[in-house]
Every structure is written in structure tokens, then in C-alpha cells.
Chains A and B, each alone.
Chain A
Amino acid sequence: MTEMVYGTVPVQQGEPVLPKWWRTIDKWTMSCILMLFGVGMLLGLAASPPLAEKNGFEYFHYVKRQFAFGTIALTVMMVISMMSPVLVRRLAVLGFLGAFIALLGLPFLGTDFGKGAVRWYSLGFASVQPSEFLKPGFVVVAAWMMAASQDINGPPGRSWSFVLAVLIVGILALQPDFGQASLVLFAWGVMYFVAGAPITLLATLAGMVALAGSFAYSASEHFARRIDGFLSPDVDPRTQLGYATNAIQEGGFFGVGVGEGQVKWSLPDAHTDFIIAVAAEEYGLILVLFIIALYMIVSVRSMLRLMRERDPFIRLAGTGLAAMFGVQAVINMGVAVRLLPAKGMTLPFVSYGGSSVIASGIAVGMLLAFTRSRAQGEIGDILRGRAR
């Protein structure tokens, strides 16, 4: 009766949020992300003063900005990682719609900052690159569609996600931003692979990507010049690639010393695309291997955790996010060591850039949310005698 009059005594459903979060979060991945952010700040101290000097700001202007953005990014990451997968999915779909509309609006309202591609919105105090935010949203949406196709009476989600991927790749290629386009395509490919793609289809797809690449080479001068620079590094020793390789060689195993590096003065993208060259020159191979190890732990460990995941949506979305995070790092560093042609790709959390670091924070926050330990129905398996 009392309960009917006064309502029930408030009873906490399950555990409180923070203890549950702390218990289930992947602490290794989170520590690695925090260390990457620390390394990024350290390298920002080295790499951004030349830019600040050039643009007439005080010496550590960009470091302070990066710290502010980084703090926002880490907060966002933490908050997202506390959400349930369903909430993450809902927000991500909304975010995806917003970013997609922003992407469509770029040709009318965007700016190219004199770099030959309209990719940014200038907000006065900062610039926003919608494609950075689009990527994690796209991964979640595509994973949702693919997972839905596995349900009873589900929609043909794989085809839908493919159409969506092609649409986004087309828009990005028109900017042109082949780096982001190939990332989106790659993330979709990985998810499709894990969702059970037939092997023959994957091979055909790889062939088509090669064809598209060669078409881009012949059609776009911007693209062709970068590929040429990669294929014949002796054509012009003053390319960014030449300087970056030289910086890595100069650095050797232990670096030339903090603040002693030269490459940051000659590379216009030293604080973004070629920050690994700055790291290699000033701190040597030691720090570079450490950075590589951090990225590897984040992506590989996340995938290994996702192997146990039974929810197809969580599995696919987590895979897509981890693969995109890892491959972005691989491409950025591969360019600096001339394994890959020059491509404007930021190093997540380490490169300077407001959109980049916040978008990375969102993506990794989702990844952390998806890789949290949760009940996988193993007890049920055991009870039903299906345990392995």
C-alpha cells in the first residue's frame, strides 16, 4: 500500500556508472591513448613553433591550442566510452547525418586555405573538417546496416551500406580528398570482410580499387604529382618526402637532441602530416618505435577483444573503428618512410589539428564503448551444453 501511495523506494538498477565503467573499460587501450596524447603534446612543443613564428603568433601558440582541443577530445572520449552501445549508435547516426549534410555544404560554404582542396569550414577561431567527423559516424551506420541484415526479416543492409560508402567516397574524391575517401572505403571493406564477405568478391573489389587509383593518377594532377614523387624520389630532392626521409636518417637511434631538429623549419606540414619525421629527428628511433607500439596495441588489442563479442553490430562497428584508427597511423608513418605515396593523413592524437583530435577522440570513445567487457551469454551456452 505504502508503495502504491508513495511510489517504490528508489532502487539502483545494476551497478553505479563509474565503477561499472572502470571495471569493464579496456584499460590498456585507454592508457595507450593517453600516452599518445602526451607524445603529441611533446612533439607539438618541437614541431609547431616554426609555424607559430611564420604566422606571427607567440612561440607556443599552437601547443596551447592543441592542449585545449586535446582536453576537449579526451573529455568527449571519456563521456562516450561510458555510454551504452545503443546510445552510442543513436548519437553516432545523428552525428553522421549532421556531418554528411555539412560535407554536402562544403562546395558552397567551405574554404580551401590555399591548399587546393575545399575540405574545411572556417569558424573564425578554428576550422572544422566535416570528413573527420563523418568517418566514425559512417562506420557506426554501416555496421548498423550490416548487422541489421543478419536479423530475421532484416533489410538488405550490406547493399545499403555499400551504396552509402560509394556515395561518400564519390563526394570526398570530388573535393578532392583521396586520403579520407580511401579510409572510408577501407573501413567499409574491413567491416564487410568481418561480416562475412565472399572471398572472390573481395578479390574483385581489390582489383577495382587498383583501377580507380590508376584513373585518379591520370585524371588528377594533384594526385599524379604525389605518386610521381613517390615512384622517383630523385626527381626533386626538395619534396616533403625527401626532407622527411632525410630527417629520419639524421635522427638515427637516439635523435639529434630536443629542439635541435631542422626538418620542422623546411616542411610546411611538419606539425601535421610529417610529425613522425620530427619525432624521428629529435628523439630518434626509440620514440618512433614507442609510438608505433602504442598504435599497434590500440588497434590489435581492440580487435582481439572484439573476437569474443557476440553482438554483430558491436563487433562490426568496433572492427571498423579500430581498423580505421590503425590504418590512418600506418598510412601516415608509411608515407614518412616512403613505403607509401605522399598522402595528407594525420596521425591520430599526435598531429596538430582541432577537428582531427576531437574526431579521433570521438572515434576512440566509441571504440572504448564497444570494447568494454560485457556479458556474452556464455553461461547460457554452458547451460544449453553448447560450450566450446
Chain B
Amino acid sequence: MIRTPLRPLARILEARRNGENPDAIERENIRLRHEDMRDRSRLRAEGRLLLLSVAFFGVFSVVGVRMGMLAASEPTEPRASAAGARIVAQRADILDRKGRILATNLETYALYAQPPHMIDHRRAATELARIFPDLEEEDLLEDFTGKRKFLWIRKKISPEQRQAVHDIGEPGLLFGAREMRLYPNGKIAAHILGGASFGREGVSAAEVVGVAGIEKKYDDRLRDPAMASQPLELSLDLTVQAAAEQVLYGGMKLMNAKGATAILMDVHTGEVISLVSLPDFDPNDRPRPATKGFAADSPLFNRAVQGVYELGSTFKIFTTAQALELGLVNPNTMVDTKGPLRWGKHRIRDFHNYGKELSVTDVIVKSSNIGTARIAQMIGVGRQKEFLQSLGMFEATPLEIVEASGGRPLLPPKWSELSTMTISYGHGMSATPLHLASAYATIANGGTKVEPTLLKQAGPQYGPRVMSEATAARSRAMLRAVVTEGTASFGEVEGYQVAGKTGTADKPKEMGGGYYDDKVIATFASMFPAHDPKFVLVVTLDEPVETSGDKPRRTAGWTAVPVAAEMIRRVAPLLGLRPQIEPAMMTGITLTSN
């Protein structure tokens, strides 16, 4: 950098020579330099002021544009006037088929605290601990005096508790309006309804979300504000459901069973009129999922749709129906029942020895495993699989509760001829009682497939045809004979002509490795009235044992059948069925001595 000196020697010397004051040169130079500096400073300031003006213009424009964007958008925040306003019912009610309430909403309040607004923290803590004995005064005081600006104290409080909190007179204790889900019938239909709990929570409202059952399956539909005024109508009949639960509970206790399930289904429409699984729970106070033990022992477990069991001899009717349909046999065809039937290392035995041969009807009536296996051999592997698949036995049931998808049937990994023979009498393949009910509904309604549903239907289902009307009618005649002269003789209910098939299957050990010999699943699959079935009823008892005789009896004929008969006796009049008294035998000519 080249410095310009303030006192350039040449000029100073010249000034001295001329007798002038050399300081004037310095002052002149300083003045010039200062003027130059001011000019530069002014130019720089000009540029910077321009920059500043542009910046201010930009900032004001941003504010203006933002104002415009806000003004153009729709208001989303709750309006000031909405504070404290009632929140409308946000979740649709659930009704039974006759319009009786199964689930509805109750207005309540949540209690929260805003410690910054509190006046007397200690008194508030003391009083709250007095009103809610499970709250600790010290914990509350710690929360109130700490850094928190907001805390929930109670999610739901009763009107009395609310008044008591009001009486504290503490401005930092506030209430938020809440809706809670209420199941006024308590345990009735618990497994179907499932339950609900709070989802996202705000100060003035909280979401109620379904956690199980139909509440979860139709959560979106029930929460849709556009459909809030339209209740969800179920196919259930509250009266029938209540009666069925009562009878089944009594039956379960009498038969010393640890669990039980009953499904009553309309054979034409597929509507499930009642579905009971015991033990059950109260959806108003849904228990926590079990963390130990088997899930199947939890009250939350829905045996009807989640319980996958080997259903035993109830499957035999499918084998004979298919054989009839294929024209392989007719009801009177004699089938070899000489036992035991050996297949490789495997032996198939009957409960009793039924002699050398039985007619097809008698194979069903007496429940011969050997006879059924022989018929299955005639049908063959491929055709049996096809038939069972057409009955819906390979897929989870489409019932409208979330748990239904968990009830997938267990099929043999390799479907050999031996599998065909055991599956023909209900072993080696597991399905839910609901699968069985819908398959029996096919036989009952004349041979068309029916899918079970929980929603009220306007008319019958017209599913694909699985078997001819004639086959269905002959099968029904056989099932009727099971009750009149076979294993289900306790199932006769005067006037309602019950037809059905028993099934007793040994329970497989939970940890694998064969079967228990003293634990069974006893099932009675029935339909009534036999000449024109309207309903199918499946009753399954888990580990029943009937001890009135000298030996404990576990077969379905002694356990499940009487329970089902009692249930039909109770429920059939509620369903609007008239008892039909079969005409008495015509009196013949009686010779009497006179």
C-alpha cells in the first residue's frame, strides 16, 4: 500500500522557501482526505440503504402474502365460541336386530390440572387425594409444584366426583368433556362387541376407538361423522343371546366343562342370531390380555371363531353327503364296518363293535368311524378336498369381528389317503365351531353355501350350490335319525324335531405329542325343525365330564346334546317357531272283549 503523506516533503520545502505556513498544507490535506472519506461513506450508505429498503419491502410483502394465505384458508381451530360447548355423539350406536341398544355413548368428564393457574397447590392436592382415595397427596403436590403446565388427573369421573372437585374452588383444576362407550347389557355379547377405549385425547374432546370385536372391525364406519346418526344394526337378538348365555353357562357348570361355545345361525340368511363364548368378560371393563398361560384360556378368547378344534364325528355327514351327491351310495347301501380297519401302521376303530356291515344311514346314526372311512376311500383325496373347500372349510370365516381372521382351519400338511380317511370322521383337520355351523347351514337350507354374518340382512343369501336339494334332504333325514334313534337321543325336543350329529374328539396336548385320553371336545351340531330347518345350533363344550353315572361319561351324547336340547327348548319360542306336534298314530282297530 502506498501511503499519501499528509506533509509531502517537496511541498513543505517549497512552502518554507516561499515563506508560507507549511501547516496549511497539512490541514488542506486532512480536509481533502476527510471529504473523500465522507464521499465514500455516503456512497456505501446509499447502497446499504437501498438494500435495507428492498429488505423491508420484502418483509412487508411476506407478511402481506402470509395474511392472504391465511385469509384464503379455512379456519380449522375450534372457535372461541365453541369452548365449553357440548360435543356431539361421535360414535354411532350399535343395535340388535330388533333395535335394542347394545352399545351407546355416555357423556362424562375428564379432570385435568393446569398448575400455573393454581392458587393453593397444597389444598388442591389434599382435597383431590380425599376425593380420589387412590391418588397420593405427595405425588400430586410434586406434579403441581413442578415444571409441568398440564397434567391429566382422571380420564373419567362421575357427576358426584365432578361436583366435589368443583367444590374445591381451585381455578387450576379443569374439566374436559368426554364421551365414553357404554355397554348397557354388561357381559351379554361381549365377544362380539369387543370394547372401546380412548384414542387421541384433546382438552375438550377425545376419540373413542374400538379395540376388539365389531367395534374395531367397523371403527371407521362407527366414527364417520356422516353416519353418526345411523346406528349399526346387528343380526343378534338380545333376548336369544341372553337366554343362550344363561343356558350355556348352566350347562357348562353341570358338565364340569372349562369352556363352552354356542352358535345359533339362520340357515337362509347366514345371520348369526346369537354367539356365545364362555368364559366371558364385561366390555365396559375389558380385562388386559393374559400375559401367561395359554391364550385360549383367557376370557378374551372367542372360542366360536378363534377356537380351532378337531370337531370329530360331526364331520361324518359331509362324507356321506358327498357320497350321496356323487351317486356312490344311497342311504341303504351296506358298508363294511368290520374292524379294526388297518391302513399301514394305523388302525381305525369304532367306539363299539357294530358287526360286519351297516347301511349308510346306520353308519351316521351309530357313528361308525370304519364305515365313514370306507366311504371316504370311495370318494378319494381330490374330491374330498374339493368338497370341503366348497363348504368354506379351508379359509377363516368372514364374520365381521376382527378376531375371525385368526380362526384359520388347520389342514394336514400332506393330504394322504390316510388323511382323507381320518378327516372323514373329523380327525386330522381342525376348524372353528363357526365353520361347522355354516357347513351345517348348507345342508339345512337345501344345499347352497352360506357365509355367516353379524349384520342384519334383508333377505336370504343365494350362495353357490354345494349339493343338490335331494342330497341335502336325505342327509337331513339321516341327522334326524341320529336324534330319534342314535347317539343324540337326549337331543329330542318335543315339537321342534331336532336333527343333528354328535362329535367327541380327544383334545390334543397343547405342547404337542399326542392326545389326552381324559380330555375331549364334545360338539353337537344341530338344526331345527328337521322337515324345513330354519336355524342351525352348534354347541361345543371344552373338557366336559358327566359324573352322574358310575363311570365318568365324556361323549357328546351325554354332555353337549342335553345342553343343546335345553337351549333349543328355551330359544325356539323366542325365535317365533311354533312347536309342531307330529300327528299321533292313527288308532287301529282294537279288539276288546266285551
Interfacial chain B residues near A312, Cβ < 8 Å: 38, 41-42, 45
How far is A296 from B31 in the complex, measured between Cα atoms in Å?
39
How far is A238 from B114 in the complex, measured between Cα atoms in Å?
13
Mask, B41-85, CB within 8 Å of A = 1, is 110111011101100110110111011101111111111110100
Residue of A151, A242, A295, A303 near B49 (CB, 8 A) is A303
Mask, A263-289, CB within 8 Å of B = 1, is 101100000000000001000110011
Give the residues from 16 to 50 in chain B that come closer than 8 angstroms, CB to CB, to chain A.
30-31, 34, 37-38, 41-42, 44-46, 48-50
What is the total number of residues of chain A having a CB less than 8 Å from a CB of chain B?
Answer: 52
Give the residues from 151 to 166 in chain A that come closer than 8 angstroms, CB to CB, to chain B.
151-152
What is the total number of residues of chain B having a CB less than 8 Å from a CB of chain A?
Answer: 42
Pair B37/A150 contact, Cβ less than 8 Å: yes
Interfacial chain A residues near B31, Cβ < 8 Å: 152
Residue of A246, A299, A306, A339 near B63 (CB, 8 A) is A339
Does A315 have its Cβ within 8 Å of any Cβ on chain B? yes
Chain B, Cβ-Cβ closest to A297: B60
Interfacial chain B residues near A330, Cβ < 8 Å: 56, 59-60, 63
Pair A243/B67 contact, Cβ less than 8 Å: no
Residue of B42, B75, B203 near A246 (CB, 8 A) is B75
How far is A339 from B59 in the complex, measured between Cα atoms in Å?
11
Does A333 have its Cβ within 8 Å of any Cβ on chain B? yes
Interfacial chain B residues near A293, Cβ < 8 Å: 60, 64
Interfacial chain B residues near A194, Cβ < 8 Å: 45, 48-49, 52
Residue of B30, B45, B64 near A292 (CB, 8 A) is B64
Interface segment out of the listed A131-139, A170-178, A249-257: A249-257
Does A196 have its Cβ within 8 Å of any Cβ on chain B? yes
How far is A300 from B46 in the complex, measured between Cα atoms in Å?
13
How far is A265 from B79 in the complex, measured between Cα atoms in Å?
12
Interfacial chain A residues near B34, Cβ < 8 Å: 151-152
Contacts A150-B41, A296-B60, A337-B66; is A303 near B53 (CB within 8 Å)? Answer: yes
Does A99 have its Cβ within 8 Å of any Cβ on chain B? no
Contacts A150-B37, A292-B64; is A250 near B75 (CB within 8 Å)? Answer: yes
Mask, A304-315, CB within 8 Å of B = 1, is 101100101001
Give B203 Cβ to nearest chain A Cβ, in Å: 7
Pair A337/B70 contact, Cβ less than 8 Å: yes
Chain A, Cβ-Cβ closest to B71: A285
Does A236 have its Cβ within 8 Å of any Cβ on chain B? yes
Interfacial chain A residues near B46, Cβ < 8 Å: 307
Pair A249/B67 contact, Cβ less than 8 Å: no
Instruction: Pick 17 A–B contacts, CB within 8 A, sort by A.
Output: A193-B52, A194-B49, A196-B48, A249-B74, A249-B77, A253-B71, A280-B67, A289-B64, A292-B67, A303-B56, A304-B53, A307-B45, A312-B41, A315-B49, A326-B60, A330-B56, A337-B67
Lowest 10 A-B CB distances belong to which pairs?
A: A249-B75, A266-B80, A296-B60, A285-B71, A303-B53, A337-B66, A246-B77, A248-B70, A292-B64, A307-B49
- Other A-B contacts than A310-B42, A323-B56, 17 sampled, CB-CB below 8 A, are A150-B38, A152-B34, A193-B52, A194-B52, A196-B45, A225-B149, A248-B67, A252-B72, A265-B80, A288-B71, A292-B64, A295-B60, A296-B57, A300-B57, A307-B49, A319-B49, A337-B67
